[in-house]
Amino acid sequence: MNFQEKYHAEFANYDALPHDFINDKEIWKILNAAENPTPDEVHQVLQKAATRTRLEPNEMAILIQNQDPETLEEMYILAQTLKREIYGERIVFFAPLYLSNKCANNCTYCGFRAENQPIKRKTLTPAELEAEVKIMISEGQKRTVLVYGESPETKIDFICESIRQVYQVKSQHGEIRRVNLNCAPLSISELKRLKEVEIGTYQVFQETYHHETYRQVHPENTIKGHYRWRLYAHDRALEAGVDDVGIGALFGLYDWRFEALGLLYHTIHLEEKFNGVGPHTISFPRIEPALGTPYATNPRYAVSDADFKKLIAILRLTVPYTGLILTAREQPELRRAVIPYGVTQIDAGTRIGVGGYQKSVGNTLPEQEQFQLGDTRSLDDVIRETCAESIPSLCTACYRAGRTGEHFMELAKTSFVHNFCMPNAICSLKEYLLDYATPETKAIGEAVIQKHLAELPEGKGKEFAIDALQKLEAGARDLYI
């Protein structure tokens, strides 16, 4: 049975809907109405954003259309402030792990598309997967997102077994403690199985929210050609009990202003339907060149670095309590420049080729990669650099402590999550420094720990951190609130 046959009945249910929650004409109407906003209009929106309240589409449109240098600078300053107030001065680290580049889809922008002959196809065997995970652990990774092509070889049985295997791999002090998932949209019954194997965040990116562009870049004879099956993937996840979901768009397929509003409409839809539980994270990757993929080389709607910075700040102002993920698609210089404006998670030490962690450096398997990587530095290099501005965190506590879904949203929207995050960040960095860091990174990291420990308010969080640091020095591991 092929994918189309398998999901045919559910496709029909979505086809029967009179409309979905993305209205292309309405989005453009809102954007056009907000053209050339006055400074007073921008200030009114910023005043609301300062209260850490989610903005409405017309308010986000005002920020998007703002071109005034003075109020743009005010936007950037407030975005930095909100990020610090809610999440603290910390950056969470993870790394992706590609298990297969075999794919039945033919997305015109993707190096993995079925018709792309230069790509060498491979699916990791259990032994190869174990080897990849051991290398990740040896570098200090604690969080991963597993990535699969959409193929008969990587259906739900394969996905569940690979998640179990990743959790089972142990090496000295280390293990992967949180497995997130970036894969095809699944049915409710399949998603319930993901819950059973303790999946972390379930990511599905719409790629583009613009209906016509979606149709153009996703052939109709593939499962990904069904816009609404993908659009409602997170609804099915939340209905199945997978209550940490991540949304995203691939910027460069269509006008970035439209896609930004698409992300907001998606957030609003989930929050209204699921008692305030929206996306745990929002991703905003830019399209990058890929082997044998002319479409991705010079995209019509390429997003400039200036607009990319503006996009990140606007997302932070619009959905202040949601995590924002910046990937290693971007060059190091760009990442340094935009992280302060609202980013909460980054990947580092990343390899995106299937089997790539068995190579000494990233970006060495172009015939097996989905796109070209921008930042190929080691995890240690990026952690050391991050210490100059923030505290690096490899924490995995929230999911394992049950702070997910509605509970997490309550903590994030009130900024109370900060009381857990900073002590846990201190502990996870200490563990990395003890077990994996180079001498230079260890020296810098220890100073950062002492700085942030001193800044913790008196109370249980600080008491926990002081006690945990002593226990980690004595050999304990995996301590968190």
Position 417 scores a pLDDT of: 58
Domain identity same for 283 and 430: no
Q: Is 441 left (phi over 0), alpha (psi -120 to 50) or beta?
A: alpha
If you average pLDDT over residues 35-46, what whole number do you get? 98
Q: For 92-96, 227-231, 287-291, 444-448, which range has the lowest pLDDT when averaged over its residues?
A: 287-291
Q: For 219-223, 366-370, 435-439, which range has the lowest pLDDT when averaged over its residues?
A: 366-370
93 pLDDT more than 80: yes
Question: Whole-angstrom Cα distance, residue 367 to residue 241?
Answer: 37
CB 19 within 8 A of CB 227: no
Domain identity same for 297 and 377: yes
Domain identity same for 252 and 180: yes
Domain identity same for 142 and 10: yes
Does some domain include residue 45?
Answer: no
pLDDT above 90 covers what percent of the chain? 77
2 pLDDT more than 70: no
* Degrees, nearest 5: CA angle 138-92-406: 125
If you average pLDDT over residues 8-24, what whole number do you get? 88
Domain identity same for 183 and 289: yes
If you average pLDDT over residues 248-271, what whole number do you get? 98
If you average pLDDT over residues 89-111, what whole number do you get? 94
Does some domain include residue 26?
Answer: no
If you average pLDDT over residues 247-263, what whole number do you get? 98
| pLDDT tens digits, 66-78 | 999 999 999 999 9
Does some domain include residue 43?
Answer: no
Does some domain include residue 272?
Answer: yes
Position 12 scores a pLDDT of: 82
Position 319 scores a pLDDT of: 97
Does some domain include residue 322?
Answer: yes
Domain end position, chosen among 393, 410, 427: 410
What's the count of helices (H) and strands (E) in the chain, helices before strands? 21, 11
1 pLDDT more than 60: no
If you average pLDDT over residues 391-409, what whole number do you get? 82
61 pLDDT more than 50: yes
Domain end position, chosen among 370, 386, 410: 410
If you average pLDDT over residues 269-292, what whole number do you get? 94
Domain identity same for 281 and 423: no
If you average pLDDT over residues 182-206, what whole number do you get? 95
Position 361 scores a pLDDT of: 46
Question: Whole-angstrom Cα distance, residue 467 to residue 481?
Answer: 12
What is the phi/psi pair of residue 145, to 5°? -120, 120
pLDDT band for position 377 (50/70/90)? very high
Q: Where in the sequence is the domain holding 159, given as residue range(s)?
A: 3-21+83-410
Domain identity same for 244 and 319: yes
Does some domain include residue 478?
Answer: no
Domain end position, chosen among 367, 388, 410: 410
- What is the residue-averaged pLDDT of the chain? 92
Does some domain include residue 150?
Answer: yes
Domain identity same for 425 and 307: no
Position 290 scores a pLDDT of: 86
| pLDDT tens digits, 161-172 | 999 999 999 988
How many domains does the chain fold into? 2
182 pLDDT more than 90: yes
pLDDT above 70 covers what percent of the chain? 93
Percent helix, percent strand, percent coil in the chain, to nearest 5: 50, 10, 40
Does some domain include residue 443?
Answer: yes
The two structure tokens encoding residue 220: 């109709």
Position 149 scores a pLDDT of: 84
Domain identity same for 226 and 264: yes
Position 367 scores a pLDDT of: 57
| pLDDT tens digits, 303-322 | 999 999 999 999 999 999 99
Question: Whole-angstrom Cα distance, residue 479 to residue 472?
Answer: 8
CATH code: domain of residue 376: 3.20.20.70
Domain identity same for 422 and 296: no
If you average pLDDT over residues 358-386, what whole number do you get? 76
Domain identity same for 395 and 422: no
Domain identity same for 308 and 454: no
